[in-house]
Structure 1
Amino acid sequence: MKYVIKLFAITTLLVVDFGYAQDTSLQMPLSFIAQNLEYKGVAVQDENYTIWGCAPIQDEDGKTHLFVARWREKNVNPAWRKSSEIAHYISDSPEGPFVFSDVAIKGTGKDTWDKYAPHNPEIKKVGKNFVLLYIANTNYHQPPHPGNQRIGMAIAKSPFGPWEKVGKDGMVLNAENPQKWNYKSNMGVANPALLEVNGKYYLYFKTKTTDGILKYGLATATKLKGPYTIQEKPVTSNKGTLEDGTVFAYQDHIYLLTTDNHGQNTGIVGGGTLWKSKDGHTFNWEDATVGYDLLPTYYKDYEPKKAVKIYGAAPKLERPKILMINNKPAYLYGPSGWNIFGGDRTVGHVFKINLKE
């Protein structure tokens, strides 16, 4: 109960500091991640690029690699679906500094499913291979969340590539099966998160039901490259909008960390929701906890007048990703649509997860 009181006070203060309506009716306690999350600094920034997504992985030498969605325009929308590319950065430490290495995936510019804007990077190590998942689209002129979003996969022996798209064109999931609950979703499928579970491959994704409700779904496969079959119902019992999921296994449970942009799940507008499941097929709201709070909660030198809003209603995290070290969640990475240092570009942040075990 003490965590509920503590966070209630924080969210009440945010109403004054940030100047927007904040739901102070906290609906769940702090997670083991949020209880002792420590801000470590900037992971990725570039005066020539907008940063949006930082997916981490470590190699056998202990170096940390980030796969980052970025583009040259200063705007977020529509640039994310028009110009995004997935770039590779590297550091000797999980806390950075990270330096640019190479571009892993670009849009083809041709008449393919991934003509435009590879985005939403997800990186995992499966056996000896590095597996990179991403979304892309065929027409960025569609509405802001186009139904032509699909999920692709590329595999490499090294985080430096070369990356080989699986199958004939790399696509592993879409929303085109008329027998499924998200058939012709006006959001398509997006925000991929991959986990190997008992010899099977679980691919989590954001989509909409045929009734227009935003949910997280699950597609499974017996082989890494697929085919992936969408399960018969959504896996989350969310009360409101959620997206940007990342998945990990810890202490005999599967956890799905998502954003809570409207605060309808946690009571924190722009916070994170940590969903918990025993089998990975059902994530109940009753078992969820607060994944993380807003960025100023952890960045102690935050000055409201200095922060620059580039995109979004609050100085919150986007596209959270977890780095696992020794089978434990060790670091959290995420960009923000607000530059808390006063710059005109977004940056990617890194937080240390101090577990109490």
Structure 2
Amino acid sequence: MRKSSLIFILAILVFQSLLGQETKERLKEMSFIAKHLEWKGVAVQDNDYTIWGCAPIQDDKGKTHLFVARWPEKNVDPAWRKSSEIAHYVADTPEGPFKFSDIAIAGTGKNTWDKYAPHNPEIKRVGDTYVLLYIGNTNYKQPPHPSNQSIGMAISKSPYGPWKKVGVDGKILDANNPNKWNYKSRNGVANPAFLAFNGKYYLYFKSVGKQGLQYGLAIADRLEGPYTITDTPVTSNKGTLEDGTVFLYQDAVYLLTTDNHGNNTGIVGGGTLWKSKDGKTFKIEEATIGYNRLPEYYKDYDEKKLVKIYGSDPKLERPKILMINNKPAYLYGPSGWNIFGGDRCVGHVLKINLN
């Protein structure tokens, strides 16, 4: 082997090593969200319902609205895929207390794509229109669930409704296109996150392709669709991620997801904050730690009081960001562990103390 060739190979190996170290260093970095989180209390708690998912938005009068997935059973699985409904709670301030207002979306119980368990609520506002996205399924038994999960949309001029499902029956996305990377995904499509961006409408979703569980993107020219899935997933994640929320901040698109097994952040049950300029590519090399586990923020955490309802860690699920004055201001999320000793999951609210 020539000396020049050997030097070239060594240079490549050194570069790859440095790149790996850079990625490792970046994933040790706490994001601007994680650095400034302050646990403020319980956002939603109901003795008659298990709470899962708290999607926030503010109206013109300054009231904060939460769209919450809930069900009467005390268990999480299979209840979430069988009995979930999307309930609407309202408070005068982002920190609550939140009071029940109405049921926004319930399962039809009929032969529709959302016969069972409207879940994964996502709420955004486009102009004077409130946009509510959710998932549903045709049969909660496994199988066929979760491969039969689809995403739907309902719109209203008021957060109090009434909600009108778009198109024929509200469904705007599934995994049934044979030309797309997630065709017949064993997970269907789930965890919608929505953004109006560059004159188009971006719908992010969790699905399974050849590389495993990743986030994908579908884009539409009109709010009500049709939404077209891009050719490849948008995240270069390692291991399991889900529960995405997306927002614009300082000329960048941020996608916040869970990191269930710690493969991206090193924190089992932490969050990954992805950053992108175009909203179409989120690289692990540019990711930071989105948030830590719940005990990091709840200072009175006591293992003796814990009730483990669902999951293996005291982590936040379904993180959702409330934007105020174009800045991320609050983070909402439930936990499968009740840190107060109750037998129901509750929704937490944490303030993002940005200067």
TM-score for the superposition, normalised by structure 1: 0.91
Per the TM alignment, residue 239 of structure 1 is displaced from its structure 2 partner at its CA by 1.0
- 1:118-145 superposed Cα distances (whole Å, 9 cap, x missing partner): 0000000111010000000000002496
Per the TM alignment, residue 201 of structure 1 is displaced from its structure 2 partner at its CA by 0.2
Partner of 1:231: 230
Q: Structure 2 matches for 1:161-310, cutoff 5 A? A: 161-209=161-209, 211=210, 213-310=212-309
Number of equivalences: 332
Q: Structure 2 matches for 1:43-58, cutoff 5 A? A: 43-58=43-58
Whether contact under 8 Å (1:37, 1:351) holds in the other structure is: yes
Q: Residue 330 and residue 247 in structure 1: after superposition, are their counterparts in 2 closer, same or farther (change >3 A)?
A: same
Identity of aligned residues (%): 76
Q: Provide the C-alpha distance between the structure 1 equivalents of 2:69 and 2:135, rounded to a whole number of angstroms.
A: 11
Q: Provide the C-alpha distance between the structure 2 equivalents of 1:212 and 1:326, rounded to a whole number of angstroms.
A: 38
Q: Structure 2 matches for 1:308-327, cutoff 5 A? A: 308-327=307-326
Does residue 160 (structure 1) correspond to residue 169 (structure 2)? The answer is: no
- 1:267-324 superposed Cα distances (whole Å, 9 cap, x missing partner): 0000000000000000000000000000010000000111110000111000000000
Three-state SS of the structure 2 residue aligned to 1:244 is coil
Q: Provide the C-alpha distance between the structure 1 equivalents of 2:206 and 2:61, rounded to a whole number of angstroms.
A: 33
Aligned amino acid, residue 252 of structure 2: H
Does residue 349 (structure 1) correspond to residue 348 (structure 2)? The answer is: yes
Q: Provide the C-alpha distance between the structure 1 equivalents of 2:26 and 2:127, rounded to a whole number of angstroms.
A: 41
Q: Which structure has the larger Rg? A: 2
Gaps (5+ residues) in structure 2? 1-24
Q: Provide the C-alpha distance between the structure 1 equivalents of 2:121 and 2:316, rounded to a whole number of angstroms.
A: 16
Aligned amino acid, residue 103 of structure 1: I
Q: Provide the C-alpha distance between the structure 2 equivalents of 1:96 and 1:145, rounded to a whole number of angstroms.
A: 35
- 1:237-270 superposed Cα distances (whole Å, 9 cap, x missing partner): 0011100000000001000000000000000000
Partner of 2:16: none
Q: Provide the C-alpha distance between the structure 1 equivalents of 2:184 and 2:312, rounded to a whole number of angstroms.
A: 29
Q: Structure 2 matches for 1:129-144, cutoff 5 A? A: 129-143=129-143
Q: Residue 274 and residue 62 in structure 1: after superposition, are their counterparts in 2 closer, same or farther (change >3 A)?
A: same
Q: Structure 2 matches for 1:113-128, cutoff 5 A? A: 113-128=113-128
Does residue 40 (structure 1) correspond to residue 20 (structure 2)? The answer is: no
Three-state SS of the structure 1 residue aligned to 2:295 is helix
- 1:99-131 superposed Cα distances (whole Å, 9 cap, x missing partner): 000000000000000000000000001110100
Aligned amino acid, residue 101 of structure 1: S
Aligned amino acid, residue 248 of structure 2: A
Q: Provide the C-alpha distance between the structure 1 equivalents of 2:214 and 2:179, rounded to a whole number of angstroms.
A: 17
Q: Provide the C-alpha distance between the structure 2 equivalents of 1:43 and 1:348, rounded to a whole number of angstroms.
A: 5
TM-score for the superposition, normalised by structure 2: 0.92
Three-state SS of the structure 2 residue aligned to 1:305 is helix
Partner of 1:69: 69
Three-state SS of the structure 1 residue aligned to 2:239 is coil
Of 27-36 and 250-259, more deviation after overlay is shown by 27-36
Q: Provide the C-alpha distance between the structure 2 equivalents of 1:294 and 1:144, rounded to a whole number of angstroms.
A: 33
Partner of 1:10: none
Whether contact under 8 Å (1:78, 1:144) holds in the other structure is: no
Whether contact under 8 Å (2:53, 2:69) holds in the other structure is: yes
Aligned amino acid, residue 243 of structure 2: D
Gaps (5+ residues) in structure 1? 1-24
Q: Provide the C-alpha distance between the structure 1 equivalents of 2:137 and 2:28, rounded to a whole number of angstroms.
A: 36
- 1:146-172 superposed Cα distances (whole Å, 9 cap, x missing partner): 100000000001000000000000000
Aligned amino acid, residue 197 of structure 2: V
Whether contact under 8 Å (2:139, 2:145) holds in the other structure is: no
Partner of 1:18: none
- Please report the RMSD computed on the Cα atoms of aligned residues, expressed in angstroms: 1.3
Whether contact under 8 Å (2:244, 2:319) holds in the other structure is: yes
Q: Provide the C-alpha distance between the structure 1 equivalents of 2:304 and 2:211, rounded to a whole number of angstroms.
A: 38
Does residue 98 (structure 1) correspond to residue 81 (structure 2)? The answer is: no
Whether contact under 8 Å (1:26, 1:268) holds in the other structure is: no
Per the TM alignment, residue 27 of structure 1 is displaced from its structure 2 partner at its CA by 3.6
